[in-house]
Amino acid sequence: MSADPRRADIDRRVLEWMRESRWSYSEKRFEELALELFAFQFEHCEIYRRFCDGRSQTPSNVKTWRQIPAVPTSALKEVELRCFPASDTVHRFRTSGTSSDVRGTLYLDTLELYEASLLPTFRRFMFPEFLLPEDRAAIQVLTPSPIEQPDSSLSHMFGVVLDALGEQGSDFAVENGELLFDRVLTVLVESAASEMPITLCGTAFAFVHLIDHMSQRGVLIGLPPASRIMETGGFKGRSREVPRTELYAELKRVLGIPAERIVNQYGMTELGSQFYDSVICGPSEPRRKLGPPWARVVIVDPETGHEAATGQVGSIVVVDLANTGSVLALRTGDLGRAILDGFEVIGREPGADARGCSIGADEILDRSSP
Amino acid sequence: MTSDEIAENFSRLRDAGERLKRRPIGEVLEVLGAVLERWRDPNSVWRRDLEDRLPAATGFTAPMIGEGLKRALGDWTSDALRELAIRELGPIDPPGSASDRRISGFDTTAVLLAGSIPMPSLLALIAPLAVRSPVLAKAASRDPLTPHLVAQSIAEADAELGRCIRVVDFTAANEDCTRALLAADCICATGSDATIATVQSQVRPPRRLVVDGHRLSIAAVVPPESAERRIELAERLAVDIALWDQLGCLSPIAVFAVDPEPAHAAALAEAIAAALANAEENWPRGSIDASTAHEIAQQRAEAELRRAAGRAVEIHASDATAWTVIVEDGPEPRPAPLHRFIRIVPVPDPRRLLEAIHPFAAHLAAVAIEGFGEETTGLAHALANLGASRVCAPGSLQSPPLDWRHAGRGVLAPLARFSDIEAIA
């Protein structure tokens, strides 16, 4: 918990929301917390204050959370945005990128909100059928562990997920930079034979490696019907780009998991919360990205800076109450479109910087590709 | 469009090319010169048709197109074409002698057009004909209009020459058609580095391949101390930036302000911002998609944050995304969203300028320079050594002479076959 009493109070109230067993998407509650957090960050992050002053958007005239000035996620490569003394830093997450790239850094003085946010969200969108706190699932993660990649927020997230939701045998399937194909295939074959469903998590490119490996060996596995996949990240200049529809078709071919049970997660290092495809929690509804009540998305018309009209493609801006120690409003490098109560990601603008953590893991996997 | 139709086009072009080969180059140049004169004439039916229809085809605004064509085609005269031919090919149709140089075009030339600016398309279609090669052109997806109009204007001027040019439309994803087009004896391809790499992988000697990949231009100026001269320079730079919405390889993506005093760069930026605001009044920027607008907004916000972090960054911008001027505090390369988005980069002296340019020198097309006094010639030579194929004055970037050696090579010579027939006893 933060040493600053005002921040500690905000943290406490956000944590309270995150720990509620039933989600309430209260606009009023979000508005109050967001504006309070904005005022706190305006006061305690000098760079952000100057940024807001430059736009003449300050706590005195910002009246709704939708007006909170959003900083571009790409700028974290060049500036440090934090609302606490540097000496209080307990963890750093770094954005992905090749060795020649400048990588952005998110500084944290607590992991409490990050972890409190990710877990119920993952559970809600990946395992909506779980009723009891002790419910567990068999999970294999196709990324390095947080021990191997301590600055990867994705690895950290999966570490928390495995600890809280993984049943015995659940594990990371990348060690020393190599995807452990044999181990993964053994686990998958066992799952198919025992008819015990399994959940696979990883970057989109890790799944491409797995598909390639299985295809080259002529291995096709029919996983039990309740099995599911969570994939995240794009291809970001990788040697191969596979359109998502093609990726999902291949996953169905080699693993027997249909698109309706493949969830794309939209997250990034700079965000404490994540958004997930709705396909498992709302199978009869249109596929769209949904998030927890404490993180909201607004699609902004890049020409005017105002909220885009319904259905109009615009910049995805995320306002995330889990980001109490940095900046809560972030303008991502992605374009999107609002759909019902959620949104879809249209893609990244040309020349956009790499997002998320997948390329870090992917670089390693690329070297171990068959 | 199918690959069979492309093959059929080639077959017809070869037949027409046989007759073209028998015509004197001078006669062909005369026809093409007359065509150029029609395109130069703002009242010609072709020019009017292009100006009327290009906004819908490309998204450029009509006033900008009118100004851009006026400035670009002003010196593209029939005489300029003849002088270009003499410079690159030698004397035109010299009287026969025992010692001779024969110039012939390839049996077929394929031209893959790119981008949305009409002048490169005009020249790309005329050049193969000037060396007497029939030409099959693939129109660019971003300008499906210009090549068809050019082909029609040639046919109107000379029906036989008109039979030597065909324009086809198909998408880049149509691999069969692309492969069929690349079966030509000479291929001229313009496009992204990825497009060029694809073409290069499919074309092998002895077929001739002439390629133009992505290129960019810059300006490097010593900011004038006098406000009057600063404003005048800024207005010329604004012309270079605004015309064709910065989408051409001759559009500057950055202005290097060469001066030990960074405040002079800031003053120049202010003047350029005012000039770009005027340009927007006179020649409004064209439409852009959400992705481009997003990139402009993102780059502006990044600059705002750098400024907020205490760096000496200044931002001048229109309310929406019509134009943006950002004064940077360092020479590191940054994204160029184009569409009238310019960075002003202060560097203290010409040596630092050359160091700053070095990382992207391989992609350099033109550099506009001014204010270097006695150092001008030395700087121009240094820029040429770095790879710039054109060094000119600010305000003239968008008006290249017809004989500018684009990409550092000739216009006609790369498309010709030369045969030296020596004196034989």
Which tens digits make up the pLDDT trace of A209-240?
A: 999 999 999 999 999 999 999 999 866 656 57
The pLDDT score that the predictor gives to residue A352 is 38
Considering its fold, how many domains does chain B have in total? 2
pLDDT greater than 50 at residue B272: yes
- Asked if B230 and B134 sit in the same domain, the reply is no
pLDDT, average across residues B231-240? 98
pLDDT greater than 50 at residue B179: yes
- Asked if B75 and B128 sit in the same domain, the reply is yes
Instruction: Give the residue among A71, A86, A5 at the shortest CA–CA distance from A38.
Output: A71
pLDDT, average across residues A92-113? 81
Handedness of CA A246, A250, A251, A253 (dihedral sign): positive
pLDDT, average across residues B246-270? 95
- Asked if B116 and B205 sit in the same domain, the reply is yes
What angle (nearest 5°) sits at the alpha carbon of residue A163, between those of residues A293 and A251?
Answer: 75
ipTM for the whole predicted complex goes beyond 0.95: no
Range of B8's domain? 3-214+404-421
A242: left (phi over 0), alpha (psi -120 to 50) or beta: beta
- Chain B residue numbers with beta carbons less than 8 Å from the beta carbon of A349 are 291-292, 294-295, 298
Instruction: Write phi, then psi, for B251 (nearest 5 degrees).
Output: -85, 130
- Asked if B107 and B52 sit in the same domain, the reply is yes
Residue with tokens 């990949």: B213
A306 near B CB under 8 A: no
Residue type, B199: V
- Asked if B61 and B169 sit in the same domain, the reply is yes
Name, in order, each residue with C-beta under 8 angstroms of B169's C-beta and a sequence gap of 6 or more. B1, B138, B139, B144
A112 contacts A145 by C-beta, under 8 angstroms: no
Residue type, A135: D
**Shortest alpha-carbon distance between residue A177 and chain B (Å):** 30
- Asked if B196 and B247 sit in the same domain, the reply is no
A105 contacts A279 by C-beta, under 8 angstroms: no
- Asked if B328 and B408 sit in the same domain, the reply is no
- Asked if B208 and B224 sit in the same domain, the reply is no
Report d(CA A105, CA B343) in Å as an integer: 26
pLDDT, average across residues B344-370? 94
Tens of pLDDT, residue by residue over A266-299, are: 999 999 999 999 999 999 999 999 999 999 999 9
How does DSSP classify residue B342?
E
- Chain A residue numbers with beta carbons less than 8 Å from the beta carbon of B305 are 47, 51, 71-72, 75, 78-79
Instruction: Give the residue among A353, A359, A356, A360 at the shortest CA–CA distance from A75.
Output: A353
The pLDDT score that the predictor gives to residue A367 is 37
Q: Which among B297, B305, B335 has CB closest to A79?
A: B305
Taking an 8 Å cut-off on Cβ atoms, the answer to whether A79 and B291 are in contact is no
Question: Rounded to two decimals, what is the model's pTM?
Answer: 0.91
pLDDT greater than 50 at residue A366: no
pLDDT greater than 50 at residue A368: no
pLDDT greater than 90 at residue A131: no
- Asked if B170 and B206 sit in the same domain, the reply is yes
The pLDDT score that the predictor gives to residue B117 is 94
- The domain over range A5-87+286-348 is classified in CATH as 3.40.50.620: no
Q: Please name the residue of chain B whose CA is at the shortest distance from the CA of residue A74.
A: B302
Tens of pLDDT, residue by residue over A14-67, are: 999 999 989 999 999 999 999 999 999 999 999 999 999 999 999 999 999 999
Alpha-carbon dihedral angle through residues A297, A264, A184, A219, given to the nearest 10 degrees: -170
- Taking each helix axis as running N to C, give the angle between helix A358-367 and helix A204-216, from 0 to 180 degrees, rounded to the nearest 10: 30
pLDDT, average across residues B371-392? 96
Please indicate, yes or no, if residue B398 is contained in any of the structural domains. no
Tens of pLDDT, residue by residue over B92-116, are: 876 665 557 788 999 999 999 999 9
**Shortest alpha-carbon distance between residue B404 and chain A (Å):** 30
Determine the CATH number of domain A113-283+354-367: 3.40.50.980
A202: left (phi over 0), alpha (psi -120 to 50) or beta: left
- Report percent pLDDT > 70 for chain B: 99
- Asked if B199 and B275 sit in the same domain, the reply is no
Report d(CA B27, CA A25) in Å as an integer: 78
The pLDDT score that the predictor gives to residue B101 is 77
- Asked if B42 and B58 sit in the same domain, the reply is yes
Instruction: Give the residue among B185, B224, B175, B165 at the shortest CA–CA distance from B106.
Output: B185
B200 contacts B209 by C-beta, under 8 angstroms: yes
Please state the domain extents for chain A: 5-87+286-348, 113-283+354-367
Taking an 8 Å cut-off on Cβ atoms, the answer to whether A349 and B306 are in contact is no
- Chain A residue numbers with beta carbons less than 8 Å from the beta carbon of B307 are 50, 54
